[in-house]
Amino acid sequence: MIPASLLAAYAWHPFLNQPPIWDQWYLLLLPLCLGVSIAYKSVKCHTMSQVPWEATVIFFWILIGMVTAAGVLVAVIEWF
């Protein structure tokens, strides 16, 4: 049996320690874009039945914009 104090020492504390995602940080863009698109379209659409399709469309537009912005920034960095 493992002592509770040892388990507590190795436990991950969400707001005190960073999550172990150093190599996959760019994947955090997906839930961020999804949350923003759902929240925005929930406020803007006249009926809630429109929200899933409209949020999906704006989700992909946000992703395309972010990827384009990243590409432009990489090009500017390489140019300088």
- Tell me whether residue 14 is in a domain: no
pLDDT at residue 2 in the model:
62
Q: Does any domain span residue 1?
A: no
Which residues constitute the domain of residue 57? 29-80
Inter-residue contact 36 to 62 (CB < 8 Å): yes
Round to the nearest angstrom and report the end-to-end CA distance of the chain. 59
Q: Is residue 72 part of a domain?
A: yes
- Residue 16, in any domain of the structure: no
Whether residue 68 is contained in a domain is answered as yes
CB 41 within 8 A of CB 52: no
Q: What is the mean pLDDT of each run of 10 residues along the chain (80 residues)?
A: 66 72 83 95 93 96 96 95
- Number of structural domains (the chain) is 1
Please indicate, yes or no, if residue 34 is contained in any of the structural domains.
yes
Whole-prediction pTM? 0.70
Tell me whether residue 42 is in a domain. Answer: yes
